A and B are shown apart, each in its own frame.
Chain A
Amino acid sequence: MSFLGNLFGKRATSGVARDRLQILLAHERAIGGGDSDLIAKLHREILEVIKRHMSIDNDKVTVKLDGSGKGCSVLEIDIEVPTPEQTAEMRRLA
């Protein structure tokens, strides 16, 4: 179909629309909606707890709440922990 479209100088753009929407909404569902306060609060508190025990970069914690699953929501917490060398480096610089 897109081949025919190209012949007539038109491009099938619906695939682009769908892909853009899927990427955008995955992001917006994670941070936006009615639970944005909750996510921000969780993010801050999780960071505080971890910082008590190890030094960690603020950007290395992502908290996502995915409510699109059937009958349940998934709270996804992704924490990137620095390697011992990186920690030593950070301590040295501090």
Chain B
Amino acid sequence: MAKVLVVTSGKGGVGKTTSTAALGAALAKTGQNVVVVDFDVGLRNLDLVMGAERRVVFDLINVIQGDAKLAQALIRDKRCETLSILPASQTRDKDALTAEGVAQVMEELREKFDWILCDSPAGIERGAQLAMHHADMAVVVTNPEVSSVRDSDRIIGMLDSTTVKAKNGEKMEKFLLLTRYDPARAARGEMLSTEDVLEILSIPLIGIIPESEEVLRASNVGAPVTLSNPESAPSRAYLDAARRLMGEKLEIQVPVERKGLFDWLFKKRVA
């Protein structure tokens, strides 16, 4: 039974695309068949972060408009054979993304894949609504920062009111992914803590991704961080989050960079 997961946030720049790529690759590494779908029509970037920008021939809009078959638009990752990407269109009109077209593509994807990860555009407009519309579960990416938390709260409200699941009276599973977290600053009271954010948003936590240079390094070279450097702190956090998505019960920790034996001992326990 395929699972449709939307990665959303409301606010831009909090790490939706990075997290989609990292979680998609992490799930695919377990042998699951995964597709990551870019819903950001006009400002696609998932292809670039995944290192597939030069392999895009057809896109989501082409498929919706019948100019290409789904199989022609899907790009298989070169590093991980169970991972595919469906890019968004870069130039076309946003209205080309129709509700019926998206519904049809999602149905077709459900037959081919175990996991469908929808990378939502920022905002609460049409693109973001379509990205979440067919989702069974949602990962709400949030930075420990006031504007991001406020926008996440708004998105959580939308997940509970505008999606197919919500309209059928079913429960939408929502998880918080806290990104760019700095445990030291949170401990000093300079940054909202995990507890603060959880108390305000009151949805279960799926992972805490520490602020890390590795994330930019990975996007520089066009690889999900979980593939480019699986041992790094953010990768381990993403890999654990992926296992939780698959139903495993794991204690949530903020991994630190492994520079030596002592770092391992310093692994921080949170929540």
Question: Known: A20-B146, A28-B154, A29-B153. Contact between A10 and B190, CB under 8 A?
Answer: yes
Tell me the residues in window 173-199 of chain B with beta carbons closer than 8 Å to chain A beta carbons. 186-193, 196, 199
Question: Known: A22-B200, A29-B157, A32-B157. Contact between A14 and B150, CB under 8 A?
Answer: no
B202–A14 touching, CB < 8 Å = no
Instruction: Give, as a whole number of angstroms, the nearest-CB distance from A6 to chain B.
Output: 11
A33–B158 touching, CB < 8 Å = yes
B161 on interface, CB distance cutoff 8 Å: yes
Chain A residues near B72 (CB-CB < 8 A): none
Instruction: Give, as a whole number of angstroms, the nearest-CB distance from A1 to chain B.
Output: 6
B154–A32 touching, CB < 8 Å = yes
B150–A21 touching, CB < 8 Å = yes
A13 to B191, CA, bound (A): 7
Interface residues on B, range: 20 to 34
Chain A residues near B200 (CB-CB < 8 A): 18, 21-22, 25
CB-based nearest B residue for A68: B202
Q: Kindly identify which residue among A5, A18, A29 contacts B192, using a CB–CB cutoff of 8 Å.
A: A18
A67 to B200, CA, bound (A): 13
Q: Kindly identify which residue among A21, A22, A34, A68 contacts B158, using a CB–CB cutoff of 8 Å.
A: A34
B153–A67 touching, CB < 8 Å = no
A33–B154 touching, CB < 8 Å = yes
Chain B residues near A22 (CB-CB < 8 A): 200
A35 on interface, CB distance cutoff 8 Å: yes
B193–A34 touching, CB < 8 Å = no
A12–B189 touching, CB < 8 Å = yes
A17 to B150, CA, bound (A): 11
Instruction: Give, as a whole number of angstroms, the nearest-CB distance from B55 to chain A.
Output: 39
A34–B161 touching, CB < 8 Å = yes
A14–B191 touching, CB < 8 Å = yes
Chain B residues near A13 (CB-CB < 8 A): 189-190
Question: Known: A34-B157, A35-B161. Contact between A5 and B150, CB under 8 A?
Answer: no
Chain A residues near B149 (CB-CB < 8 A): 21
Chain B residues near A18 (CB-CB < 8 A): 192, 196, 199-200
- Given A20-B146, A21-B150, A21-B200, 18 extra CB contacts under 8 A: A1-B189, A5-B189, A10-B190, A12-B188, A12-B189, A12-B190, A14-B186, A14-B189, A17-B146, A18-B192, A18-B196, A18-B200, A28-B150, A28-B153, A33-B158, A34-B158, A67-B157, A68-B202
Chosen A-B contacts, 10 in total, with CB atoms closer than 8 Å, are A5-B188, A5-B189, A14-B186, A14-B196, A21-B200, A25-B150, A32-B157, A33-B158, A67-B157, A67-B160
